[in-house]
């Protein structure tokens, strides 16, 4: 998604732009993403709802963001943190896995993981820590072959180093 957004955001600047654009045109920008047919429909529908319900302005409340087509808590928290500097805990598969391995949570449900992390991370650091966990989980603490010897957190991590480079349970 991060690879396609620069061109998409350059071509379409407002919610009205997305609402007015034919789905086929949106697909051209996002076709390298998985599920791009549905994503294009959701982008258009979200643009339309932002125009109709929010006067063309992206809402700054989680509850209003998740009402938009294709927007769940993860995306809503990314938008809040990145666009509005409103801290939010972003839980994707990488963040969930890493925080379980570090012992921050035992939950697998993203909403429960989010709630657990909100209790232990300082509010102003929610977005920063979330981005760190997502990146670290994607690049170092990978699902099947964690690179423990390269991990800056290894001295604090209860996850066994004996699993490094080996296929392991997620």
Give the domain range for residue 153. 93-163
Domain presence at residue 14: yes
Whether 106 is catalytic: no
Residue 52 shares a structural domain with residue 98: no
Q: How much is the pTM?
A: 0.86
Whether 74 is catalytic: yes
Q: Which of 41, 92, 112, 115 is catalytic?
A: 92
Of 13, 37, 57, the residue at which a domain comes to its end is: 57
What is each CA distance from 69 to 64, 119, 133, 168, in whole angstroms? 11, 29, 26, 35
Domain presence at residue 106: yes
Average pLDDT over residues 39-55: 98
- Which tens digits make up the pLDDT trace of 127-169? 999 999 999 999 999 999 899 989 999 888 988 665 555 555 5
Sign (positive or negative) of CA dihedral 113, 161, 129, 140: negative
Domain presence at residue 168: no
Average pLDDT over residues 48-71: 98
Residue 53 shares a structural domain with residue 111: no
Average pLDDT over residues 13-22: 98
Domain presence at residue 72: no
Domain presence at residue 117: yes
Structurally, how many domains does the chain consist of?
2
Q: Which of 44, 49, 74, 116 is catalytic?
A: 74
Q: What is the pLDDT of residue 168?
A: 53
End-to-end C-alpha distance for the chain, whole angstroms? 23
* CB burial string 147-169: b at 16+ within 10 A, e below: ebeebeebeebebeeeebeeebe
Indicate which CATH number applies to the domain containing 98.
1.10.1670.10
Q: What is the pLDDT of residue 103?
A: 94
Domain presence at residue 65: no
Domain presence at residue 39: yes
Residue 158 shares a structural domain with residue 105: yes
Of 57, 80, 101, the residue at which a domain comes to its end is: 57
Average pLDDT over residues 118-125: 97
Is residue 170 very low, low, confident or very high in pLDDT (cuts 50, 70, 90)? very low
Q: Does residue 58 carry a pLDDT above 70?
A: yes
Sign (positive or negative) of CA dihedral 151, 156, 159, 160: positive
């Amino acid at each position: 998604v991060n690879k396609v957004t620069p061109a998409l955001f350059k071509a379409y600047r407002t919610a009205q732009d997305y609402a007015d654009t034919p789905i086929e045109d949106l697909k051209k920008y996002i076709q390298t993403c998985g599920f791009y047919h549905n994503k294009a429909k959701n982008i258009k529908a979200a643009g339309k709802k932002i125009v109709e319900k929010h006067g063309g302005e992206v809402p700054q409340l989680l509850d209003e963001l998740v009402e938009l087509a294709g927007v769940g808590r993860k995306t809503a928290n990314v938008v809040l943190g990145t666009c509005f500097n409103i801290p939010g805990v972003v839980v994707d598969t990488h963040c969930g896995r890493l925080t379980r391995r570090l012992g921050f949570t035992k939950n697998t449900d993203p909403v429960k993981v989010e709630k657990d992390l909100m209790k232990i991370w300082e509010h102003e650091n929610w977005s920063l820590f979330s981005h760190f966990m997502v990146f670290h989980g994607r690049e170092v603490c990978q699902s099947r072959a964690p690179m423990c010897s390269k991990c800056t957190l290894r001295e604090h991590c209860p996850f066994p180093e004996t699993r490094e480079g080996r296929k392991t349970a997620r």
